[in-house]
Amino acid sequence: MRTLYHFALSAPSRAIRIALAEKGLEAQLKVEKVWERRPEFLGMSPSGEVPVLVEPDGTTLTDGSVIAEYLDEVYADPPLIGADPLSRAETRRLACWFGQKFAREVTDNLVGEKLMKRFLALGEPDSQAIRAGKANIHYHLEYIAYLAETRNWLAGDGLTLADITAAAHLSVVDYLGDVPWADHPKAKDWYSRIKCRPSVRPLLEDRIATAPPPPHYTDLDF
Amino acid sequence: MRTLYHFALSAPSRAIRIALAEKGLEAQLKVEKVWERRPEFLGMSPSGEVPVLVEPDGTTLTDGSVIAEYLDEVYADPPLIGADPLSRAETRRLACWFGQKFAREVTDNLVGEKLMKRFLALGEPDSQAIRAGKANIHYHLEYIAYLAETRNWLAGDGLTLADITAAAHLSVVDYLGDVPWADHPKAKDWYSRIKCRPSVRPLLEDRIATAPPPPHYTDLDF
């Protein structure tokens, strides 16, 4: 059986959960509290981060972007990165945009400060970082709106890792109620489309006991 | 003619310069002072970052890791990522390690604070960040030593994007004289091997007028 080590509000783990489901690949989910730095887990993941995917033959893969590339090479149908070098470059550019730039400018400032710092016992949330995250998210939503208006999905005609990465990050920020959807109706339209895919529904059911999501979080008509 | 927009101490730009040279691809280099946020450049690179590669047919590619994947797909010989999905995953894991983790923990704290902050007029260097960078570099050099002892190059038998990314980052930190080579002789042996490759020599000739490198910087026997 395939096993994915993850935790509920890890955006890169969510992206791999979506990618696996889009490809019709089943995986047993194991919650890994990375902040406990479990030796057996560090043996699989030198960086100590999730997601980690263990394939049925024991092959162990780390890092969200690396796992996504591997899955697309080994389980090619449906392709989630693109059919030719140029469309793959555009998908990867946007997957980097959301997986690194959005992560640094938005996710880390909001989910990192409000939730992860508590789990990691790193002290009080930094209110300046939270303000920065709430300001930065607007131009990313504008960029999503621009891309989704110009194309069918973010990187072109079909759903790709670009949409999956963006949706994974937005879904964890949305869990906190920090996505200003009302100001960005076109980005909201794009998110509605991805939110109702069967690959995305299960991860919206995850709950953190001490921090429930806002009421609109799982609504398809939000 | 192929054009690469870069600047001298941008580690991701250096990685692409090495990859191009390893593949025998010529490129005209254009220095882009990204902090000036030139509108024509932002038109090519929405994130405003280097490297940007413009292919002879006008195809424009951004982001170091995206450009490296494109080059390896389109100019397959010699392969710099790997021959099969598993070895490609290992190369990508280590390219991520150095391109993201080492960048965040070392390069940003040293080159970012000591040089980039000055160019970007972001104020005085943060001495706590510099201390963190100088502490963090040790475990990365230990990791390089471990990998280079276990394998021939970092990701396996042949030189890959893992070595190229690690060398690009170390070379900019070494420009500041901040690599404690004496404490890490096995990492130094690996770096000596990559430093004398014809693909790496030219970028060690770059100079920043106001900040010359230490004497050992270009020495092959350092």
Q: Give me the CATH number covering residue A134.
A: 1.20.1050.10
- Whether B98 and B194 map to the same domain: the answer is yes
Quick one: closest CA in B to A97, which residue?
B47
- Whether B91 and B112 map to the same domain: the answer is yes
- Whether B58 and B143 map to the same domain: the answer is no
A209: pLDDT confidence band, cut at 50, 70 and 90?
confident
Q: Which residues contact B95 (CB under 8 A, 6 or more apart)?
A: B65, B68, B160, B161, B162, B164, B165
The H or E element containing residue A62 is strand A60-62
DSSP letter (8 states) at residue A214: P
- Whether B102 and B67 map to the same domain: the answer is no
Phi and psi at residue A84, to the nearest 5°:
-140, 165
In a domain, B79, yes or no: no
Rg, C-alpha atoms of chain B: 17
Q: Strand pairing partners for A30? A: A5
Contacts of B85 in chain A (CB under 8 A): 70, 73-74
A211: pLDDT confidence band, cut at 50, 70 and 90?
confident
Cβ-nearest to B63 among A63, A69, A93: A93
Are A38 and A65 in contact by the 8 Å Cβ rule? The answer is no
Tell me which residue of B144, B150, B148, B152 sits closest to B170, measured CA to CA. Answer: B144
Segment A178-204 shows an average pLDDT of 97
A contact test, residue of B47, B54, B63 with most A CBs within 10 A: B63
3-state SS, residue B156: strand
User: What's residue B222's pLDDT?
Assistant: 83
In a domain, A44, yes or no: no
Tell me the pLDDT tens digit for each residue of A7-45. Answer: 999 999 999 999 999 999 999 999 999 989 999 999 999
- Whether B67 and B93 map to the same domain: the answer is no
Pairing of strands B52-54, B28-31: unpaired
Quick one: closest CA in B to A62, which residue?
B93
> How far from the centroid of its chain's Cα atoms is residue A11's Cα?
3
A191: pLDDT confidence band, cut at 50, 70 and 90?
very high
In a domain, B140, yes or no: yes
Total domains, chain A = 1
Quick one: closest CA in B to A69, which residue?
B89
User: Residue B48 maps to which CATH number?
Assistant: 3.40.30.10
- Whether B45 and B105 map to the same domain: the answer is no
Contacts of A96 in chain B (CB under 8 A): 63, 65-66
In a domain, A181, yes or no: yes
In a domain, B217, yes or no: no
User: How many angstroms separate the CA atoms of A169 and A104, rounded?
Assistant: 11
In a domain, B219, yes or no: no
The H or E element containing residue A95 is helix A85-96
- Whether B169 and B100 map to the same domain: the answer is yes
Domain coverage including residue A145: 85-198
Cβ-nearest to A66 among B74, B92, B101: B92
- Whether B43 and B119 map to the same domain: the answer is no
Asked whether the predicted pLDDT for residue A117 surpasses 90, the reply is no
Map A95-134 to HEC letters. Answer: HHHHHHHHHHHHHHHHHHHHHHHHHCCCCCCCHHHHHHHH
Contacts of A62 in chain B (CB under 8 A): 93
User: How many angstroms separate the CA atoms of A13 and A60, rounded?
Assistant: 15
- Whether B49 and B102 map to the same domain: the answer is no
In a domain, A7, yes or no: no
In a domain, B106, yes or no: yes
Contacts of A49 in chain B (CB under 8 A): none
For the question of whether the overall pTM of this predicted structure is more than 0.80, the answer is: yes
Interior CA angle at B15 toward A162 and B173, to 5°? 115
User: How many angstroms separate the CA atoms of A95 and A65, rounded?
Assistant: 8
Does residue B61 sit at the A interface (CB-CB below 8 Å)? yes
B115: pLDDT confidence band, cut at 50, 70 and 90?
confident
User: How many angstroms separate the CA atoms of A156 and A87, rounded?
Assistant: 8
Tell me the pLDDT tens digit for each residue of B43-95. Answer: 999 999 999 999 999 999 999 999 999 999 999 999 999 999 999 999 999 99
User: What's residue B162's pLDDT?
Assistant: 98
Task: Tell me the nearest-neighbour CA distance from B182 into chain A, angstroms.
Answer: 25
Tell me which residue of A6, A90, A54 sits closest to B89, measured CA to CA. Answer: A54
Task: Tell me the nearest-neighbour CA distance from A73 into chain B, angstroms.
Answer: 7
Contact (CB<8Å) A97/B61: no
Mean pLDDT of chain B: 96
In sequence order, what E strands does A70-183 have? none
- Whether B95 and B53 map to the same domain: the answer is no
- Whether B115 and B152 map to the same domain: the answer is yes
Contact (CB<8Å) A85/B70: yes
Asked whether the predicted pLDDT for residue B211 surpasses 90, the reply is no
Quick one: closest CA in A to B89, which residue?
A66
Tell me the pLDDT tens digit for each residue of A89-113. Answer: 999 999 999 999 999 999 999 999 9
Are A7 and A31 in contact by the 8 Å Cβ rule? The answer is yes
Q: Which residues contact B34 (CB under 8 A, 6 or more apart)?
A: B7, B41, B48, B49, B50
* Beta carbon pairs, A and B, within 8 Å: 58
Are B71 and B161 in contact by the 8 Å Cβ rule? The answer is no
Are A35 and A127 in contact by the 8 Å Cβ rule? The answer is no
3-state helix, strand, coil in chain B (%, to 5): 60, 10, 35
CA dihedral for B19, B24, B25, B26, sign (positive or negative): positive
Task: Give the ipTM.
Answer: 0.96
Are B156 and B90 in contact by the 8 Å Cβ rule? The answer is yes
Contacts of A46 in chain B (CB under 8 A): 97, 143
- Whether B93 and B161 map to the same domain: the answer is yes
